[in-house]
Chains A and B, each alone.
Chain A
Amino acid sequence: MEPSSEKDNQSKNYWIVFTLGIIYVLLLGLFTYLFNNPIT
């Protein structure tokens, strides 16, 4: 069994990774929006 403080830490880590996953998608979207301006 994991101690409860370790479990809290772990779930905090997961939230950080989850947020980071969302941020990566948004950053790539922002990158495409700002820099990819193809001429049609």
Chain B
Amino acid sequence: MHWIDWLVLTLFLTYTIWDGTRKGKESTNIEGFFLANRSMPWWAMGLSVMATQASAITFIGTTGQAYVEDMRFVQTYLGIPFAMIIICMTLVPFFHKMKNFSAYEVLEERFGLSTRLFTSLLFLFSRGLALGTVIAAPSYVLALLLGFPLTPTILIIGITATLYTMVGGITGVIRTDVKQMAVMIFGLVFCFVWIGYQLPEDVSFSDSLYLAGTLGKLQAIDLNFDLSEKYNVWSGVIAAIFLMLSYFGTDQTQVQRYLTAKSLKDARKSLLLTAYAKIPMQFFILLLGVMLYVFYIFGPAPTTFRSVEPSAQDRQEIVAGEMLEQEFNAAYLERKQTAKKLLDNRTTQNARAFKEADQYLNEVRQSELERQERITESSLNDTNYILPFFILNEIPIGIIGLIVAGIFAAALSSIDSELNALSTVSIVDWYKRLDSKDRGEAWYLKSSRLATVLWGLLATLAALALGETRSIIELVNKIGSYFYGSILGIFILLLWVKRANGFGAFTGLICGMSTVFIFDRLFDNPATGTYQFIMPWNTIPEGFEKTIEYLWLNPIGTAVVVGVGLLLSIVWEKLKVMVNNE
């Protein structure tokens, strides 16, 4: 990067720290530190909700996903408007009435301390584990992008977020989130406009859509109902509602945002902002990925967006690499020519020739990725490196710094919220609740800052220790998916099932998570029609694929918790009556 870009990036990080910490002294108690004295405007909370959800991997990973596959990922968010209506009608007024600090606090009165502690522990465990990867994943990309060593990159991200979250509390988090969201949106819009500007003069925006459509990259909706398919309209509208209800309604990282609202009306408005904006925003992020694909049909495309060179001794791989490069160059020229021919004359024959040229080029690209996997002896995926590669090689000096700042912003806005939420749950649900002494507000405020530092330190160390192993990242996300649906079930029991009691809720929660685990590990072989239960540490046999994709695990978890919870509550009450009568 040019020194001007470095300057822009440094100024951004310095401003973030200053902006996040400058209101820190105004917090004199934990209500100020964790809830900004319930005084935040709705638009700031709304933008913070969106910034928290859009991590750096959402920013760079989903553009890459649209580049490699298509736009079907947008369907994951189709449930958001409906989920937000339900949350605004139920959980938001409930939390507003309870004047709570943590989402899990409200469970104690009905279901007892053990349920409160267990659900909050699940949150601490899953979020604490995930935070390491939230820091690590963008750090790998940014380190490569900046040509900077990995360890300092992780330290910069970890320390910056921890510093301003520790001093500024939730006020610092929301203040910085608003600006970070603005930088992120600027980055996306600029990349989009710049791609249009960089396309050849005779290729218009509608030509780009035509080429992408010919390759099937503009598929945003898939109507086929298939439980084993990750993204289709049914999983997006039906199954994802449960995930969104749980994430926006019961996850402390999000709940804490609208607990800071001045009024019930403001809390609702902040959530409805996400309902309005999330789907169009995700659509444009994915369309950006598709436009990148079209750009590299005509522009200088690399074989892969992240390359690892073999050692000088490995002659065989060097020769294989040279041959693949030659093949790629020929395939690239062929695809470019067929694309131009198709735009000049839009016939089925030309479209087929273009599609075949594209398929061949992707086969060569795949062979190169496999060669690099042999060199690194690990699974390698360049999806997350596509947008950064474009930024670094095509964007003008000065703006690169601002867009890289946008990636940093996306990472920081998720990390700060998680740190603040982890600290809230540790102090409110555990330390303050289990501490027999009343130590006063100043003590708990100090403890809250210390908890933020400890979580920041732990997450940064975890990020340093993690290898870039996709399996670890996927495993952590999977752990989260085991909990989401089940925790939602507990809140449904709390709000709507009057007969539910602590025993039923707690046992239901355990049953819900166990069922989700069983369904998650269920695999089938479509050729033979056989099913197999495979533990996470075992290798999946050839021909077997997941029977149920992760979005559907959420309604399963919720249904089991509510069903088992209700049933056991009734049985428990009947047993109690019988014992009392005897």
Complex-state Cα separation, A25 to B280, whole angstroms: 11
- Nearest A residue to B84, CB-CB: A17
In A1-40, the 8 Å CB interface with B consists of 2, 6, 10, 13-14, 17-18, 20-21, 24-25, 28-29, 31-32, 35-39
Take A17-B275, A20-B275 as given contacts and tell me if A39 and B85 are in contact as well, using a CB distance cutoff of 8 Å. no
Q: Looking at the complex, which one of B215, B217, B276 makes contact with A17 (CB distance below 8 Å)? A: B276
B237 interfacial contact with A, CB 8 Å: yes
- A39 in complex: contacting residue of B75, B220, B233, B351, CB < 8 Å: B351
Tell me the nearest residue of chain B to A19, going by C-beta: B81
Contact of B213 among A25, A29, A35 (CB under 8 A): A35
On chain A, the residues within 8 Å of B74 by CB distance are 28
Chain B residues within an 8 Å CB radius of A10: 88, 265, 268
Q: At the interface, yes or no: B548 with Cβ under 8 Å from chain A? A: no
Answer whether residue B45 sits at the interface, using C-beta atoms and an 8 A cutoff: no
Minimum C-beta distance from A7 to chain B (A): 11
Residue contact A24 to B78, C-beta cutoff 8 Å: yes
Closest to B70 in A: A36
A2 lies within 8 A of B81 (CB) = no
Among B70, B81, B233, B348, point to the contact of A20 (Cβ < 8 A).
B81
Q: How many A-B residue pairs have CB under 8 A?
A: 79
B89 at the interface (CB under 8 A from A): yes
Please state if B265 and A6 are interface contacts (CB–CB under 8 Å): yes
Q: Given A14-B88, A29-B221, does the pair A38, B78 have CB atoms closer than 8 Å? A: no
B216 within 8 A of A: yes
Out of B213, B264, B276, name the residue touching A37 (CB < 8 Å). Answer: B213
Whole-angstrom distance between the Cβ of B75 and the nearest chain A Cβ: 8
Q: Is B298 engaged at the interface, CB distance under 8 Å to the other chain?
A: no
Q: How many residues of B contact A (CB 8 A)?
A: 40
Does B221 lie within 8 Å of A17, measured CB to CB? no
B336 at the interface (CB under 8 A from A): no
Tell which of B81, B213, B215, B354 touches A18, judged by Cβ atoms closer than 8 Å. B81
Question: Given known contacts A17-B84, A35-B209, A39-B355, is B89 in contact with A25 (CB within 8 Å)?
Answer: no
Nearest-neighbour CB distance to chain A for B301, whole angstroms, equals 21
What are the residues of chain B within 8 A of A2 when measuring CB–CB? 264
CB-contacts of B215-240 with A (<8 A): 215-221, 223, 233, 237
Do the beta carbons of A24 and B81 come within 8 Å of each other? yes
Among residues of B, the one whose C-beta sits closest to the C-beta of A30 is: B221
State the CA gap A36–B218 with chains docked (Å).
Answer: 5
CB-defined contacts of B237 to chain A, threshold 8 Å: 25
| Cβ-neighbour of A38 out of B82, B213, B264, B272 (below 8 A) | B213
- Bound Cα distance from A6 to B275, whole angstroms: 20
How many angstroms from the CA of A31 to the CA of B70 in the assembled complex? Answer: 13
- CA gap between A35 and B237 in the complex, in Å: 22
Q: Which of B484-505 contact A (CB under 8 A)?
A: none
Indicate whether B279 reaches chain A with its CB closer than 8 angstroms.
yes
> Per a CB cutoff under 8 Å, which of A13, A28, A29, A37 touches B272?
A13
> B residues within 8 Å of A by Cβ?
70, 74-75, 78, 80-82, 84-85, 88-89, 209-210, 212-221, 223, 233, 237, 264-265, 268, 272, 275-276, 279-280, 283, 348, 351-352, 354-355
Q: Which residues of A contact B (CB under 8 A)?
A: 2, 6, 10, 13-14, 17-18, 20-21, 24-25, 28-29, 31-32, 35-39
Can you list 7 pairs linking A and B with CB atoms under 8 Å apart? A13-B268, A17-B84, A17-B275, A25-B78, A28-B221, A36-B219, A39-B351
